[in-house]
Amino acid sequence: ALCVSGTYSSSQGQAFCANCPSGTYANSTGVTECSQCLPGTSQPNTGQTSCISCPVQIVLYVSEYSPLG
């Protein structure tokens, strides 16, 4: 039996399928390993068929030499 999308088996034809771990996905059946989410995407849940876009964040870098206030 082939593993369904979102799951994988360590080798083809195994009866046991495991959910893809968080940070990975499987968008087709019968995969032996899950794909890593691409940069800019993430997947906090297990057993998923795709990754989601990361929210846009504004990161401020303050130099240790900059006077504050």
* Local confidence band at 69 (pLDDT 50, 70, 90 cut-offs): very low
If residue 24 lies in a helix (H) or strand (E), which one and from where to where?
strand 24-25
SS3 category, 42: strand
Tell me the average pLDDT across 12-33. Answer: 90
CB atoms < 10 A from the CB of 38, how many? 10
CA 68 to chain centre: 39
> Tens digits of per-residue pLDDT, 28-50?
999 999 999 999 899 999 999 99
Residue at token pair 């771990």: 21
